[in-house]
A and B are shown apart, each in its own frame.
Chain A
Amino acid sequence: MIKRFVNYIGDTKNWGKLRILFYIILAVVFISDFFVHRHHVEFIWDKIPGWSAFYGFLSCIVLIIVSKALAHAWLYKEEDYYD
């Protein structure tokens, strides 16, 4: 069963369907955040519906771009740099 499941996901032929499934899940999660009861509001952004998804997306983009930019400008060295 595990093998079939993994093979289905791994097969690039199915990736179109999987992508649609992912978008559906993302939409459901995002929309349901509009309706859930705010258990504990500490900060102003806790009140914004869909805040977490927005912040997660922003974090991911900023992290990738900033770190890769730093790396290409400065931090990346050849693998034999220390040899």
Chain B
Amino acid sequence: MHGSIRKRTIMTNWIHPSLLFILGSFLIPFLHGRVKKAYLILIPVLAFISVVTVSQGTYGVFEFLGHELIFGKVDKLSLIFSYIFTIMAFVGMVYSIHVTDTGQHMAAWFYIGSSLGVTFAGDYFSLFIFWEIMAFASAYLVFAGRQKSSVDAGFRYILIHIVGGLFLLAGILLHYGDTGSFLFGLLEQDGSMAFYLILLGFMLNAAVPPLHAWMPDAYPEASVTGAIFLATYTSKTAVYVLIRAFAGTEILIWIGAIMALYCVMYATLQNDFRRLLSYHIASQIGYMVAAIGLGTGLAIDGATAHAINNILYKGILFMGAGAVIHITGKRRLTDLGGLYKAMPVTLILYMIGGFAISGFPLLNGFISKGMIISAAGHDHQALIVLILLLAASGTFLSTTIKIPYYMFFGKASKIEAKEPPLNMLIGMGIAAVLCLLIGIYPGLFYGLLPYPVHFEPFTADHVTGSLGLLMATVLGFFLLLKVIKPEHHISLDVDWFYRMGTRIFLWFARRPVCAYEGFITEISNTVILPVIYFFARVGLWIDRNIVDLAVNSTANFVINMSAFVRRVQTGLVQHYAVGMVIGIMLIIIIYSLIGG
């Protein structure tokens, strides 16, 4: 009792960052010019202060229909995710501050706010509500690409996420049925339906194959600035909830490793560079999913650190790619080339992100990728280690060699280009500085991870091992330059099933169902309707000539009868007396005749 009172008093002392973003977004349409820009920066800063100053505990507990809604479960894990989410909100706002489309800023804030809502949710109920807001707010950023292809992809995106949300909801309700609790925490691995449905719902948002195709489908269609938020929030909140509920679920080790490899393989095939980068988001999440499956302290720290780092360097890569689209309007590698002269700063910043994702020493990816691979090694998972190393080579190959080679170097395209607006470069620059900071001083970072870490990244063999792997990849790339070159193709992926599936459904609706419907109509018109009409006419005749006649005759009879009765019933006593006397006389006569 004492505890719950204390909770409620503390609650008033903490402004939940979701409130800042979601309520704050309603003010954006009323602001203009410098005030609006200042406001767009101010709220992420306030949100960051809010999460940095809050101490661990439980806040924002409400009674709702006899259940506790917990909006503020603050512990080490939710805190570190909230730090990076608010930092990335700031970076994303700086990058997109020139955008005049207010709807995009509002959608981004709804999206960020609901992601933070998921991060601090202590119960499945509030988690689910924020989960759904995320889906709809982020879909707006896909629609904001404002091409026909964006709108189509946006609809596919929202439909898939509705399906994922339904998995999650069904799982939550079954879980409640099993346990009687909505509390969000580590799930018991009982192999129940609830366990797998919740896992499916989370895996869909983490883009785990075969539930991943929405990501490379939708992200390249989003607006240049919207893609930065998309690349950050949906998949990383999914990693966060997977850590919370499914740490140590062994099947995830293999799922994650296969995911890392599958998506790296697809990335090598892409020509649309934001689609290529989207496959790499999914591939990097494969590392995290595998680490979540391992479930050891080092693995969970590695998954957390990798999620944080991924947000930073993937942010840079998407911002760099977005800057190129913003300037040139081109989205395919085959349409680009030779931009190095016009966009040197963009190139350098992009390369920092590229080297970071590849795990170069002194950059943040080196630390967290090392933690995950070490964790797999400590668990004696030889094949997993080999698959993850293969994927590391593939990441460097596509993101850090292939894209820059064909975008910035290679044959010079005759495209007029210049550096993007300064705010875009500053956004990339902030993320680049953070990548370097974590990469050079990982100690600053370890203290924030959920478990105490004893990981020494800068051992000589780790450094020479990583560099050897990456340098040899460069060699392989240049040897196979003719094979790897981007091509004017798209590659089939599992989205085929629902893209063609809906087509088959529509064909089925248009052809067989329509034909059947026509056939039925025809039979109805030529055979059934005349019969029905015939019977209707017969019925009408019967109604008119027999039923009506009978009714009318009865009515006439009743009227005539009553007229007669009315005449008989004069109401005069002497008439009745005469009638009675005549009647008595008749009875006496009848009796005497019979009796006689």
Contact = CB atoms under 8 A, between A and B. Distances in A.
Nearest to B488: A79
27 contacts: A5-B344, A10-B341, A30-B471, A33-B468, A39-B459, A42-B385, A50-B468, A52-B389, A52-B469, A54-B472, A55-B390, A55-B472, A59-B393, A60-B393, A60-B477, A63-B265, A63-B390, A64-B484, A67-B269, A68-B483, A70-B265, A71-B489, A71-B491, A75-B269, A76-B489, A77-B489, A79-B488
Contact of B469 (A40, A55, A70): A55
A59 B390 contact: yes
Contacts, number: 169
A24 B419 CA distance: 33
A75 B262 CA distance: 13
B492 A67 contact: no
Contact of B377 (A43, A53, A62): A43
Contacts of A70: 265
Interface in B466-514: 466-477, 479-480, 483-484, 487-493, 499
Q: How large is the interface on A (under 10, 10 to 19, 20 to 34, 35 or more residues)?
A: 35 or more
B318 interface: no
Interface of B: 264-266, 268-269, 338, 340-341, 344-345, 347-348, 374, 377-378, 380, 382, 385-386, 389-390, 393-394, 397, 408-409, 456, 459-477, 479-480, 483-484, 487-493, 499
A46 B461 CA distance: 9
B311 to A, nearest CB: 25
Contacts of B374: 40
A67 B247 CA distance: 32
A4 to B, nearest CB: 9
A65 to B, nearest CB: 7
User: Most chain-A CB neighbours within 10 Å: which of B393, B394, B464, B491?
Assistant: B464
A17 B564 CA distance: 132
Q: Which 8 A-B pairs have the closest CB atoms?
A: A60-B476, A56-B469, A53-B468, A10-B340, A57-B472, A36-B460, A59-B393, A6-B344
A6 B340 contact: yes
Nearest to B261: A63
Main SS class of interface, A? helix
Contacts of B377: 40, 42-43
A74 to B, nearest CB: 7
Contacts of B341: 6-7, 10
Contacts of A77: 489-492
A68 B471 contact: no
A10 B509 CA distance: 56
Nearest to A22: B474
A30 B341 CA distance: 33
A24 to B, nearest CB: 11
Contacts of B488: 79
Nearest to A70: B265
